[in-house]
Chains A and B, each alone.
Chain A
Amino acid sequence: MSKTQKAIFAGTVLLIYPTDYNFPNEIQASMDNQTLYHKLFLIRCFEETVLDNFPKGVFPGTTHTYIGQEANAVGVLSHISPDDIVFSNHRGHGHFLAYGGDPHLLFAELMGKASGVCGGRGGSQHLHWKNFYSNGIQGGIVPIATGMALAEKRKGSGAIGIAFLGDGTLGEGVIYEAFNLASKWKAPILYVLENNRIAQTTPIDMSLAGSITARFSAFEIPYCELDTSDVLVISPTAKKWMDYVRDTESPAALILHTYRFAPHSKGDDTRPADYLAQIRAQFDPIQIHGARLNPDERMTIENMVRDQIQNAFMDALNDPLPKVATT
């Protein structure tokens, strides 16, 4: 990349940035600490409720929870404009809730209820609400999100696309077609790559050759790489790069190294218990950010969220199933 430089900050931020673009020096998180904590804890509480209730037969099918990665969705999506497009993946509950989706309607969708965001047709992995979309196939969403961003650019709406993908999806070929096209056709999209270091049960060391960043620099897509679970690091950095995408009407990538504390799905975690305990102790975004709040206000928020999630869950449970057409 001729027009870029590589810089390393504070051991947590690696980035390649275009030298002809002036990034502002200081960007604040867009929300106050309490609001950010509310969102983080909401996702955690939602996902724990899902896992707790799966064995009771409340939810059909399967699910993939976001526990441990909450700061990514909250940090990135706290900056979106209403017209911006978010395309999420199989592990999308956290993205949906951080986007502003209603936990009641998400529970209902997971339960297959008529009131669900997609009337029960989609389930956990297939959500659409406002400008939020998700699909359960790895990789295929990346060209689609890129096309959406290109459409908004053609329409002159000013909206950008944000596509979430994981490290496992780096194995899918179609994403590289999309990166190439995004770079050539200058799609205003931010690819948010959440590297939770494991794809289902396969650690990244066993599946990924070369580096993640080289996959973007090969296509001259500038990127920023963070290795943190701190929402106060992710949020301003995401803001900076979303502004970059919006201003330049061209793609960028935000690589977020993260940890998934829970199983890929339900009860299918092959990692050692002491490893899981260690990453949870060290990298929990809830604990990291929660420590910034005074204990009383933290407890108030947590109680409020617990009530909210409990009510949402009960409301969804009491909602009717979809009507089946009789012929």
Chain B
Amino acid sequence: MITVLESLNRALKQALFDDPQALLIGEDILDPYGGAFKVTQGISTLFPDRVLTSPISEAGIVGIASGMAMRGLHPIVEIMFGDFIPLIADQLINHLAKFRWMYNDQVRVPLVIRTPMGGYRGYGPTHSQTLEKIFLGIPGIKVVAVNSFSDPGKLLYDAILSEEDPILFIEHKLLYPLSLFDESVNRDFDRTLLPGNPSYPTYRLTLLGAPDPQLTFIAYGYMAELASQTMLKLAYEEEIFCELIVPTQLAPFEITPLMDFIRQTKHLMTIEEGTRTMGWGAEILSQIMERTNNSAIRATRIAAKDHPIPASPALENDTLPGLRDIITAVHAILNHS
């Protein structure tokens, strides 16, 4: 069994081995340090010419990498903390996301920007955030998030080797030490792949041997982990059975494969770690509402409270979604029916 971190690390090594145009750019990514979260550990030793450690210049390196991508290289940029992506917003929004389209399809920008995101570690207001929502819905940027139920390494490898367009690749910090979902040892979940692009899989998890689910969770990244723990707890302690849909591609988002499940359970909950207002969950619920004339569907959102993330663990836990929040919301939505 390997962890999410090992999976990503192996994928980077394999990508640089298989693709001579691939190169890594980021802050503090050289060995022996190997990056703030060690995703790039060992790579500069294997490929010393293709790992560029950079000054603290997030916008600069993303700009340089997109220039390289437009001229035939396949750069992978690491932004040390996801909290720093506002620094690259102009490059993303006004430059690399637009080039292919505004130059009338005459260029490609095959660039992967990886970044660790998320809280629950007491890092405080500027090193704990979930900011990908800023870039959801920006035409030309594909936003992808890893989880432990889909192979994170394959996701990253395919993004580097097969994509022609820029990708913002989100890795939740709490996922790094977790083991990948392994069907041969798993005794809790039945996992099925939903229709769609297999490079960016969406999985549906149901409890093995359980009756039909009463409620559908939709969650990505570490929130999928939290949702899966909640599913087990609800099933064992209260005999409430839920299903969990876990997308890896957040934007552009294809809602169609999810609709049959939602029509079945008629109860829906999105779970996200970003702030609640104008968030990912709001968009998912809107798309579902546009496709259903059925007012019997009940839906709710779980998300972070709309204020900065405090450093104190007690305050942070109150701000970010927790297992108790989800259970309380499940009770509320089911009891209203």
Contact = CB atoms under 8 A, between A and B. Distances in A.
Instruction: Give the most central of B52, B70, B104: most A CB within 10 Å.
Output: B104
A81 B106 CA distance: 21
Nearest to A134: B103
Interface in A119-147: 119, 121-122, 126, 128, 133, 135, 137, 140-147
Given A118-B103, A118-B106, A181 B68 contact: no
A174 B66 CA distance: 14
Contact of B64 (A126, A128, A150): A150
Instruction: Give the most central of A85, A128, A177: most B CB within 10 Å.
Output: A177
Contact of A180 (B60, B66, B90): B60
Contacts of A3: none
A141 B57 CA distance: 15
A19 to B, nearest CB: 27
Nearest to A151: B71
Interface size class of A (residues with CB under 8 A): 20 to 34
A174 B91 CA distance: 10
B interface: dominant SS: helix
Contacts of A23: none
A302 interface: no
A227 interface: no
Contacts of B57: 177, 180-181
A180 B73 contact: no
B94 A155 contact: no
Interface in B26-82: 52, 54-55, 57, 59-73
Given A143-B91, A152-B71, A121 B101 contact: yes
B102 A143 contact: no
A56 interface: no
A67 interface: no
Instruction: Give the most central of A148, A155, A178: most B CB within 10 Å.
Output: A148
A1 B94 CA distance: 35
Contacts of A151: 67-68, 70-73
Contacts of A147: 63-71
Contacts of B64: 143-144, 146-147, 150, 178, 181
A119 B102 CA distance: 9
Contacts of A135: 94-95, 98
B236 to A, nearest CB: 48
B79 to A, nearest CB: 14
B107 interface: yes
Interface in B241-264: none
A126 B103 CA distance: 7
A56 to B, nearest CB: 26
Contacts of B94: 135, 137, 140
A149 to B, nearest CB: 8
6 contacts: A121-B101, A121-B102, A140-B95, A141-B95, A150-B67, A181-B57
8 cross-chain pairs, A with B, having the tightest CB-CB distances, nearest first: A147-B67, A143-B63, A177-B60, A147-B64, A151-B71, A128-B103, A177-B57, A148-B67
